[in-house]
């Protein structure tokens, strides 16, 4: 397989120029030669993920989270990452989360997606739906709402967007104490890991390499 042709498919889906200015998408390690034989798809590059790639005889890793510093010991394997460009792309990280929940997007708001249900849903029922993906989710309901209809979604760290949209509830990860304390919306923190764990599967689908691509075995650091 030509690694540059594989990356071209990803960048056609999620153009690298749409990444945030602080981000580090693209090639982390671009080894000499264009041919690769097997690719490991991962959410985050860690020592364990790199070892999995070696154990599975993968000569390339494609991840969602990029490394801003590449350890020397990782230099023996090709590494490519698609992060905020994949988050922003149509059909990207947040859209995939919404689809996995069996919901339908109503509107794009850059990184944020809006889902407007046909009928209001009970808070408990919506919490139970989210728990199918995130069993240990936590949520904030400062105004004691009982039902919601219009919901904002942002996979990963989307707390900065809370209260910026006219929605009844917001779903994201990495919710901080003071943000939770001040929120006038119902906010569901499903966890950064849980909100983006479908990204490796999405990247594998984009590349269309079938059995030549494998998914890393990853778990949330929180127990």
Q: Show me where the domains of the chain are located.
A: 3-86+197-215, 93-190
Mean pLDDT by 10 residues, the chain (223 residues): 98 98 97 98 98 98 96 96 98 98 96 97 97 95 97 96 94 95 95 98 98 97 87
What pLDDT is recorded for position 43?
Answer: 98
pLDDT of 113 reads 98
Do 3-86+197-215 and 93-190 show the same overall fold?
Answer: yes
CATH number corresponding to 3-86+197-215 = 3.40.1390.30
Q: Write down the architecture of domain 93-190 according to CATH.
A: 3-Layer(aba) Sandwich (3.40)
CA distance 111 to 95: 10
| Beta strands 138-140; 186-189: pairing state | antiparallel
pTM (whole model) above 0.75: yes
Interatomic CA distance for residues 163 and 182, integer angstroms: 9
């Amino acid at each position: 397989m030509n690694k540059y042709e594989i990356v071209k498919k990803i960048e056609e889906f999620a153009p690298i120029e749409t990444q945030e200015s602080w981000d580090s998408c693209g090639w982390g390690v671009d080894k000499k030669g264009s041919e690769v034989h097997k690719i490991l798809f991962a959410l985050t590059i860690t020592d364990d993920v790199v070892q999995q790639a070696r154990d599975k005889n993968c000569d390339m890793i494609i991840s969602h989270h990029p490394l801003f510093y590449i350890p020397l010991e990782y230099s023996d394997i090709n590494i490519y990452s698609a992060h905020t460009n994949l988050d922003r792309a149509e059909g990207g990280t947040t859209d995939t989360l919404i689809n996995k929940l069996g919901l339908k997007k109503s509107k794009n708001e850059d990184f944020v997606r809006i889902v407007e249900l046909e009928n209001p849903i009970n808070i408990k029922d919506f919490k139970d739906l989210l728990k199918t993906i995130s069993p240990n989710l936590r949520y904030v309901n400062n105004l004691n709402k009982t039902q919601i209809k219009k919901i904002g979604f942002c996979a990963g760290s989307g707390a900065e967007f809370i209260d910026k949209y006219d929605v009844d509830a917001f779903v994201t990860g990495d919710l901080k104490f003071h943000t939770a304390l001040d929120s006038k919306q119902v906010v569901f923190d499903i966890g950064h890991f849980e909100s983006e764990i479908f990204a490796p599967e999405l990247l594998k689908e984009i590349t269309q390499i079938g059995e030549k691509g494998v998914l890393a075995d990853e778990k949330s650091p929180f127990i």
